[in-house]
Amino acid sequence: MTRADMQALPAPRRIGGLTALAGVIGWPVAHSRSPLMHNFWLAQYGIDGAYVPLPVRPGAFDVAVRGLQAAGFHGTNVTIPHKEAAFRIVDRLDRSARRSGSVNTLVFAPDGAIEGYSTDGDGFVANVEAHGIAVTGGRALLLGAGGAARAIAASLLDRGVAVTIANRTAARAHELADAMRADAEAGAMVDVAPWDGLGTVLPGCDMLVNTTSVGMHGGPPGDLPIDLALATPALVVCDIVYVPRQTALLRTAAARGLRCVDGLGMLIHQARLGFRKWFGTDPVIGAEVEALLDADLRGEGS
Ligand code: ATR
């Protein structure tokens, strides 16, 4: 092969002994947009790093994490179904993780400890704030009582927002409210509303947050049992679903002139802390990364 032939070849991506490694552990994990996002930031900032998908079966989580730590990874994100296992494996739990009962970001610290963080709740709040909406005081109506609801409830309560939880299965709403109340700082600012009585509580709310899978591409059929005609004009309507970006809930809200926050920004903002911890740079969240993810997700029904 001549020198000219060599120059015509695409330059390989250089991964060497000093390359900082991180990834996302999940099962399945192929659909995750985290590799796209982190590798975009790595390229944007010219950082010698790589972020890979790590498909790990249920039951193999602990051995995988210990192996990645032994192999020199700086840490990982953790997604379904391993967030609770991640909570159990860590040596040092950040307050965010303690409050949400799960971990989505592992950091392998220089002293050998595994640190655990939950960035979903703060990612949600940061995204709302990035839309120019202050998250302080007032009342939020939170639909759903799964892991995402718990992380978001904790972050809202931390900012002095009272939270009303409503869930199709009422027992789970009460469990979540009890978990929040057990935290002295959150105190009495949590209550539960019946799933079939949302019309009574909505007029008193400043924010509505859907954390259920209703509205998601491939999710359950039907609509949320909520009539936005009862909302005050100041209501902010948030959906953490991001495929599609404009859910039926957000479409109805926008048609009523209500301010809307879709779920894509939360996906981006929750990634920020891990990137900073593993790669040493705080990524500025700009329009480029949002456009990149938006274009990638459009193939999936949005
Ligand atoms: P995650 O941890 O990602 O938040 P999850 O624990 O599976 O996910 O929670 C999904 C949420 O969507 C739950 O609040 C669930 O309500 P139930 O607790 O009653 O199952 C809610 N959800 C799912 N399908 C729903 C539907 N058809 N109508 C209303 N809520 C639904």
Strand partners, 208: 141, 237
Select which of 33, 83, 245, 272 is catalytic.
Answer: 83
Which residue among 31, 198, 212 is best mutated to probe the pocket of ligand 1, counting the most ligand atoms within 8 A of its Cβ? 212
Range 3-118+271-297 classified under CATH 3.40.50.10860:
yes
Place of tokens 């947009």: 33
Contacts of 275 (CB under 8 A, 6+ apart): 38, 41, 281, 282, 283
Tokens of 43: 């390229």
What pLDDT score was predicted for residue 269? Answer: 98
Residue 187, pLDDT score: 64
Where exactly are the structural domains of the chain?
A: 3-118+271-297, 121-265
Pairing of strands 114-117, 259-261: unpaired
CA 164 – CA 185 distance, rounded (Å): 16
Q: 223 C-alpha vs ligand 1 centroid, how far in Å?
A: 13
* pLDDT score for 185: 67
Domains 3-118+271-297 and 121-265 share a fold: yes
Q: Lay out the sheet containing 139-143: strands in order across.
A: 190-192, 162-166, 139-143, 207-210, 236-239, 259-261
Write down the pLDDT at residue 254: 98
CATH of domain 121-265: 3.40.50.720
Annotation marks residue 83 as catalytic = yes
- Work out which ligand 1 atom sits closest to the CA atom of 173: 18
What's the CA-to-centroid distance between 71 and ligand 1, angstroms? 37
Can you give the pLDDT at residue 166?
Answer: 98
- The torsion angles phi and psi of 207, rounded to 5 degrees, stand at -145, 140
Q: Which of 51, 118, 113, 126 is nearest to 278 (CA)?
A: 51
pLDDT of amino acid 16: 94
Q: Average pLDDT of each block of 10 consecutive residues along the chain (302 residues)? A: 86 91 97 96 97 97 98 97 96 95 96 98 98 97 96 95 98 96 77 96 98 94 95 97 95 98 97 98 96 90 52
Pocket test for ligand 1, best of 213, 224, 226, 247 (most atoms within 8 A of CB): 213
Q: How far is the CA of 288 from the centre of ligand 1 (A)?
A: 32
